[in-house]
């Protein structure tokens, strides 16, 4: 299979993952800029491997749960859900807001855990399948601020600042604005997003490392988010302290995981 074919296959899967309804083959052909016959061959291969499903009535196509199954299997093998969820539940209880954890994956952040702490009033409960827009989210800026400025700006620029209708009214629109907000993040010690990701919401985030030493690699970010009327500047210090405590706990977990990976267990222990 050629590189171009692999690229088209991935584009197709990503498009289906972002579609709430099954999609006609003609629409997929338009997205891929390919003849319908060629798209049909690609879809037939994906259907045969259970990555895509075809509705027998409408003949439309939709993503199967295979991708989700593999993702959760990978997380389970890393012991991430159980280890991180305890920390997130505690953070949610302490802040009484919605909390999320994202992991660094290459030049991206990916949501892997969440916990809802709000018990009264408005509840913020966004879709975990949404892409993390690095320049518009507190999590994105918390991570970018840990990178050398040139690298951080290059990553953000490579993704573009996108359609303003897909982010909040206060989102940055160019590299110069992002540079200023990353500088603010470094100075404060935490990132904020005030109607930047979406209207009416606010968030605070900090990074956590794969160990408690300053030179340890950044493993991911954690955030507290909710309605703008609750995540006010008066609460920033309180929420930031809770986030930093949780980040320290997560750093211990990641440090332990790293040590465990390098342990050479005795044969008797491995077979127990």
CB 90 within 8 A of CB 246: yes
Q: Residue 269: which pLDDT band, with cuts at 50, 70 and 90? A: very low
Q: Measured between alpha carbons, how far is 80 from 63 in angstroms, rounded to an integer?
A: 25
Write down the residue that tokens 């006010």 correspond to.
232
> What domains appear along the chain, each with residue ranges and CATH number?
3-64 (1.10.10.10), 70-260 (3.30.450.40)
Q: What is the mean pLDDT of the chain?
A: 85
Is the pLDDT higher at 181 or at 119? Answer: 181
Tell me the pLDDT tens digit for each residue of 188-201: 999 999 999 999 99
Most confident segment among 43-52, 117-126, 225-234: 225-234
Go through the chain and tell me how many residues it has.
272
pLDDT at 127: 79
Read off the DSSP letter of residue 127.
-
DSSP percent split of the chain into helix, strand, coil, nearest 5? 50, 15, 35
Of the given ranges (70-74, 194-198, 262-266), which has the lowest mean pLDDT? Answer: 262-266
Distance (Å, rounded) from C-alpha 92 to C-alpha 115? 6
Residue 270 pLDDT greater than 70, yes or no: no
Q: What distance in Å separates the CA atoms of residue 227 and residue 97, rounded to the nearest whole number?
A: 9
Q: Flag whether pLDDT at 1 surpasses 70.
A: no
pLDDT at 128: 79
Q: How far apart are CA 230 and CA 216, in angstroms?
A: 33
On the question of pLDDT at 262 being above 80, the answer is no
pLDDT score at 70: 66
User: pLDDT-based confidence at 266, cuts 50/70/90?
Assistant: very low
CA distance 130 to 22: 18
């Amino acid at each position: 299979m050629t590189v171009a074919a692999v690229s088209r296959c991935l584009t197709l899967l990503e498009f289906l993952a972002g579609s709430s309804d099954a999609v006609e083959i003609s629409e997929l052909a338009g997205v891929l800029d390919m003849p319908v016959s060629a798209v049909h061959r690609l879809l037939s291969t994906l259907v045969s491997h259970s990555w895509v499903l075809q509705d027998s009535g409408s003949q439309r196509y939709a993503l199967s749960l295979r991708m989700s199954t593999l993702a959760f299997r990978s997380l389970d093998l890393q012991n991430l859900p159980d280890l991180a969820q305890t920390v997130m539940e505690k953070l949610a209880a302490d802040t009484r807001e919605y909390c999320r954890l994202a992991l660094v994956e290459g030049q991206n952040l990916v949501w892997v855990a969440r916990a809802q702490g709000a018990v009264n009033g408005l509840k913020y409960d966004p879709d975990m399948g949404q892409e993390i827009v690095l320049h518009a989210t507190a999590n994105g800026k918390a991570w970018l601020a840990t990178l050398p400025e040139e690298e951080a700006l290059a990553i953000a620029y490579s993704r573009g600042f996108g359609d303003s209708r897909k982010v909040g009214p206060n989102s940055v629109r160019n590299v110069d604005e992002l540079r200023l907000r990353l500088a603010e993040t470094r100075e404060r010690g935490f990132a904020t997003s005030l109607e930047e990701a979406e209207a009416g919401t606010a968030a605070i985030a900090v990074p956590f490392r794969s160990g408690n030493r300053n030179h340890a690699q950044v493993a991911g970010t954690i955030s507290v988010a909710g309605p703008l009327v609750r995540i006010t500047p008066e609460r920033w210090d309180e929420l930031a302290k809770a986030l930093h405590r949780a980040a320290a706990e997560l750093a211990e977990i990641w440090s332990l995981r790293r040590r465990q990976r390098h342990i050479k267990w005795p044969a008797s222990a491995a077979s127990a």
